[in-house]
């Protein structure tokens, strides 16, 4: 039986003391500052690009000369260098959607610390609910044990842990274990083919006439709470003296907003995982539209010379599209169908919602909201507009994808090698 390597990530919440949180916060800020120093050193160094050796020597010198740089573990500092170099490699890869590496802002960047060597973790299970892990310069920390990790539980899944990454979310610090397993190569999925139309009114409409829908990510009470704290933050910002640091009260209000939005995000991701697992298990070939979501989310406000129209309506539409996370749904489908021997195919998006799947008549007036009524007098098919679009997607030819992105993406003119100042 042929075996293939399967890499996955497992996220667990850490149980930290206030002192340990302060240590991790300091390490994360140091890692961000190191990224910015590397970016400056790499791109603006005496008329030439710095090599990996130059960057490594600069990091070692900085750790000896700058006191606060030493609070970041040496392995984590080397991981920042590898991540930075990989960011450039992704940007220069014509098949990768990554953008050019830039400086990281203190307020807008995600706080992370890498633990690249699994031997430093020394993971043990404490009881049914908790496990314990060693974190460099932090000490022994408990984490929620919600799933057996490969190679650690007797009778559990075989494999090993290759490293971890510490990530700070709105509800605290989490650890992301990188796991590796050898699993049997998947056989060809015997399931049928289906087309999926992603929408707002109906989250996922399938060509077989079924739909996959969800409730609002926040309850009525939680929405009202979010509205109140957002109004409170607006009042506090108006009372704030320009140029002065953010007050503790305003920071607490920001934290309340972040926790509510993080709760909505967790519920959305949970629904996406459950739904995509069910779809990947049921269907062998899944066809979806090839959407340029970033372009769909652009603002309609325009310029002073050419102001936009219906700006508020477009802003509301953008929020709804972003809330559905269409791209993440397809990303989950890609690896889950691949694990089960299936395939995801992306098809061209234009006119799938205006074309009748029965007779092929295309007209913008065919669709009125969620109702599709073919204007061809010889056809006259009437049904749900999203179901009609899903059938058109299922009947269209497309390009098979695996991992991230389309296999036939052309190189962007903006993807140029970095230049020295």
CA 307 to each of CA 295, 304, 415, 417: distance values in angstroms, whole numbers, following the listed order: 18, 6, 30, 35
Q: What are the residue ranges spanned by the domains of the chain?
A: 3-184, 193-345, 353-395
Q: Which of 380, 337, 45, 36 is nearest to 194 (CA)?
A: 337
User: Tens digits of per-residue pLDDT, 174-214?
Assistant: 999 999 988 888 888 888 999 999 998 899 999 999 999 99
What pLDDT, on the 0 to 100 scale, is given for residue 406? 39
The residue-averaged pLDDT of 210-229 equals 94
- 3-class secondary-structure state, position 165: strand
The residue-averaged pLDDT of 379-405 equals 81
Out of 152-166, 259-273, 341-355, give the one with best mean pLDDT: 259-273
295 vs 289: CA distance, rounded Å: 14
Q: Which of 139, 100, 111, 104 is nearest to 15 (CA)?
A: 139
What pLDDT, on the 0 to 100 scale, is given for residue 411? 33
318 vs 310: CA distance, rounded Å: 12
Q: Which of 345, 342, 4, 333 is nearest to 189 (CA)?
A: 342
The residue-averaged pLDDT of 52-77 equals 86
Residue 153 has pLDDT above 80, yes or no: no
Q: Which residue has the higher pLDDT, 259 or 1?
A: 259
Residue 415 has pLDDT above 70, yes or no: no
At how many degrees (to 10) do helices 248-282 and 326-339 cross? 40
377 vs 242: CA distance, rounded Å: 65
Q: Which residue has the higher pLDDT, 41 or 402?
A: 41
Instruction: Map tokens 């909505």 to a residue.
Output: 264
Residue 410 has pLDDT above 50, yes or no: no
The residue-averaged pLDDT of 292-307 equals 78
What pLDDT, on the 0 to 100 scale, is given for residue 419? 40
Please count the CA atoms within 13 angstroms of the CA of 94 that sit on its side-chain side: 7
Structure letter (DSSP) for residue 50: P
Confidence of residue 45 (pLDDT cuts 50, 70, 90): low
Out of 268-272, 303-307, 346-350, 370-374, give the one with best mean pLDDT: 268-272
What pLDDT, on the 0 to 100 scale, is given for residue 310? 78
Instruction: Map tokens 């984590």 to a residue.
Output: 76
133 vs 12: CA distance, rounded Å: 11
The residue-averaged pLDDT of 17-22 equals 95
Please give the helix or strand (H or E) that residue 400 lies within, else none: strand 399-401
User: Tens digits of per-residue pLDDT, 97-122?
Assistant: 888 899 999 888 899 999 998 888 99
Q: Hey, what are 219's tokens?
A: 């309850």
What pLDDT, on the 0 to 100 scale, is given for residue 250? 92
Q: Tell me, yes or no, if the pTM score tops 0.75.
A: yes
User: Tens digits of per-residue pLDDT, 314-354?
Assistant: 888 888 888 888 889 999 999 999 989 999 999 988 888 88
182 vs 173: CA distance, rounded Å: 30
- Nearest-10 Cα torsion for 28, 33, 36, 38: -90
Instruction: Give the phi and the psi of residue 391 in degrees, each rounded to 5.
Output: -65, -40
- 3-class secondary-structure state, position 315: helix
Weakest mean pLDDT among 16-20, 29-33, 366-370, 384-388: 366-370
What pLDDT, on the 0 to 100 scale, is given for residue 49? 66
Q: Is the dihedral of CA 55, 57, 60, 64 positive or negative?
A: negative
274 vs 384: CA distance, rounded Å: 25
Confidence of residue 405 (pLDDT cuts 50, 70, 90): very low
Residue 43 has pLDDT above 90, yes or no: no
How is the chain split among helix, strand and coil, in percent rounded to 5?
40, 25, 40
The residue-averaged pLDDT of 132-143 equals 94
Confidence of residue 402 (pLDDT cuts 50, 70, 90): low
Q: Hey, what are 38's tokens?
A: 């590397």
Q: Radius of gyration of the chain from Cα atoms? A: 25
Neighbour tally for 79: CB within 10 Å = 21
What pLDDT, on the 0 to 100 scale, is given for residue 104? 92
Partners of residue 180 on adjacent β-strands: 7, 160
Cβ-based neighbours of 3, under 8 Å, separated by 6 or more? 182, 183, 184, 185
Structure letter (DSSP) for residue 114: E
Average pLDDT, the chain: 86
């Amino acid at each position: 039986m042929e075996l293939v390597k399967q890499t996955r990530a497992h996220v667990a919440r850490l149980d930290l003391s206030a002192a340990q949180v302060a240590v991790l916060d300091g390490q994360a800020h140091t890692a961000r500052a190191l990224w910015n120093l590397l970016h400056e050193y790499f791109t603006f160094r005496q008329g030439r690009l710095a090599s990996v050796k130059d960057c490594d020597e600069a990091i070692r010198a900085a750790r000896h000369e700058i006191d606060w740089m030493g609070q970041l573990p040496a392995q984590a500092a080397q991981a920042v260098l590898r991540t930075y170099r990989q960011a450039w490699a992704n940007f220069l890869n014509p098949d990768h959607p990554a953008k050019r590496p830039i400086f990281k802002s203190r307020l807008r960047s995600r706080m992370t610390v890498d633990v690249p060597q699994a031997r430093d973790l020394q993971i043990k299970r404490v009881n049914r609910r908790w496990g314990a892990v060693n974190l460099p310069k932090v000490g022994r920390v408990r984490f929620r044990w919600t799933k057996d990790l490969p190679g650690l539980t007797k009778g559990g899944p075989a494999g090993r842990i290759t490293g971890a990454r510490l990530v700070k979310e709105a509800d605290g610090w989490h650890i992301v274990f990188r796991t590796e397993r050898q699993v049997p190569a998947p056989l060809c999925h015997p399931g049928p083919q289906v087309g999926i139309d992603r929408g707002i009114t109906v989250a996922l409409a399938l060509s077989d006439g079924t739909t996959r829908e969800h409730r609002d990510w926040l309850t009525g009470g939680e929405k009202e709470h979010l509205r109140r704290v957002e109004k409170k933050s607006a009042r506090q910002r108006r009372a704030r003296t320009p140029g002065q640091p953010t007050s503790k009260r305003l920071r607490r209000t920001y934290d309340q907003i972040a926790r509510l939005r993080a709760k909505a995000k967790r519920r959305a991701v949970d629904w996406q995982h459950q739904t995509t697992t069910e779809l990947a298990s049921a269907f062998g070939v899944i066809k979806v539209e090839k959407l340029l979501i970033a372009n769909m989310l652009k603002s309609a406000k325009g310029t002073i010379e050419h102001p936009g129209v219906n700006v508020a309506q477009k802003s509301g539409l953008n929020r709804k599209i972003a809330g559905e996370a269409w791209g993440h749904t397809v990303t989950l489908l890609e690896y889950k169908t691949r694990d089960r021997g299936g395939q995801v195919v992306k098809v061209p998006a234009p006119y799938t919602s205006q074309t009748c799947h029965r007779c092929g008549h295309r007209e913008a007036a065919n669709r009125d909201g969620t109702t599709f009524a073919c204007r061809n007098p010889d056809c006259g098919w009437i049904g749900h507009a999203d179901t009609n679009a899903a059938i058109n997607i299922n009947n269209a030819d497309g390009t098979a994808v695996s991992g991230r992105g389309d296999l036939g993406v052309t190189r962007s003119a903006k993807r140029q090698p970095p230049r020295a100042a």
